[in-house]
Amino acid sequence: MVEKADLFKNGKRLDGRGPMDLRPLKITAGVLDRAQGSALVEWGRNKVLAAVYGPHEVLPKHLADPPKAIINARYIMAPFSGQEEHGRSGPNRRSIEISKVAKHVFENAVLVDQFPKTMIDVHMEVLQSDGGTRVAGITAGAVALADAGIPLRDLPVGLSAGLIGEHMVLDLDKYEDNLGDSDMPMVILPRTGEILLSQMDGMLSRDDISKAFDMIFQGAQKVRDKQIEALRQSYERMAAQAQQGENNQ
């Protein structure tokens, strides 16, 4: 059983990380065949799969917003994804709220004016969860959108910061989220420094918030590097396959 006192000792966190360290992060683009774009984000023990379909006809029809594309974002946790008992299938209040704020992120990042009267689906499936699934999901969704060829202003990047006692740390895992004092998931556009998602649990002063922002902006660069790396590798894989195909002729 993990106790709160174990979370931060001698400048180190339970898993040995320093305050600014992220958990191991691996992003793979183009992991699904049928989806227009897809990405798998493995972040610590989280595994989140994102898939993009569209732009397509708006369903149901009355939702169509003629001057731009509407985003249909769906964040959901698989019933087997948590350490706890079997969850209920389908959306719950938490996932509906997260889907809503994720939708707002993509509405900003996607150049929605280019596809009037259409709908773009961004599905985020949490297959295994270990704290920070919404920021992992949106980070995955961003890569899936780019992989699909949907025009974007920038790749939105998700990351959380939070307090353990008086220590502000980045990228909280499940224990830190449950036993720590506050959690502030955020999504930013690195290029412009815009905050596209901000939520919060716990109590923070103005100084805490300011510090959390600075840490998130700094850490987000590492996440963005992984997003770009995933897209680059997807291209290189494709190019290598083309070469290989030729050798097999």
Partner 1 sequence: MILEQIKQGFIRDLAEKGQREDGRGLLDYRAIQVTKGFAPNAEGSAFAEIGKSKVLAGIKFDVLAPFADRPTEGVVMVNAEFSPVAHPEFRAGPPGENSIELARVVDRGIRSAKVVNVDNMLVAEGKVQGVFIDLYILDHDGNLIDTAALAAMAALKDAKVPKFEDGKVVRGSNAGPLPLQDIVLSTSFEKIGKTIMVDATDAEEIASAGRLSLSTANDEKICSSQKSGSAGFSKDEYLQMVDWAMEKRKDLLAKI
Partner 2 sequence: MKQLVFPGDKVADEPRRIPGCFVEDGKTYAANVSLQSDDHVVPLKGYYVPKTGDDIIGIVDEERFSGYNLALNSPYGASLSARDTRDELKLRDAVYAKILAVNEVKEAVLIEPQKLAQGSMIAIDAVKVPRISGRNGSMLDTLAKFTGSRITVGKNGIVHVEGGNSELAMKAVEKICRESHTSGLTERITKMLEEQTRKTGGQGD
CB 224 within 8 A of CB 140: no
Q: Answer yes or no whether residue 193 interacts with partner 2 by CB under 8 A.
A: no
Q: Which residue from 42, 49, 55, 168 is in contact with partner 2, where contact means CB under 8 A?
A: 55
Q: Which residue from 116, 165, 193, 202 is in contact with partner 2, where contact means CB under 8 A?
A: 116
Element (H, E) at 61: none
Measured on CA atoms in the order 6, 12, 15, 16, is the torsion positive or negative?
Answer: negative
Quick one: 39 or 101, whose CB is closer to partner 1? 101
Task: Locate 33 and state its tokens.
Answer: 């065949």
Quick one: 42 or 181, whose CB is closer to partner 1? 181
Please report, as residue ranges, which positions from 70 to 109 form the binding site for partner 1 (by CB under 8 A): 93-94, 96-97, 99-101, 104, 107-108
CB 193 within 8 A of CB 217: yes
Q: Which residue from 6, 15, 57, 214 is in contact with partner 2, where contact means CB under 8 A?
A: 57
Q: Which residue from 19, 82, 194, 211 is in contact with partner 1, where contact means CB under 8 A?
A: 194
What is the rounded CA–CA span in Å between residue 186 and residue 194? 11
| SS3 (DSSP) at 203 | coil
Q: Answer yes or no whether residue 159 interacts with partner 1 by CB under 8 A.
A: no
Tell me the C-alpha to C-alpha distance, in Å, between residue 131 and each of 41, 96, 162, 165, 232: 13, 18, 12, 18, 27
> What residues line the site for partner 1 (CB under 8 A)?
93-94, 96-97, 99-101, 104, 107-108, 182, 184, 189, 192-206, 209-210, 213, 217
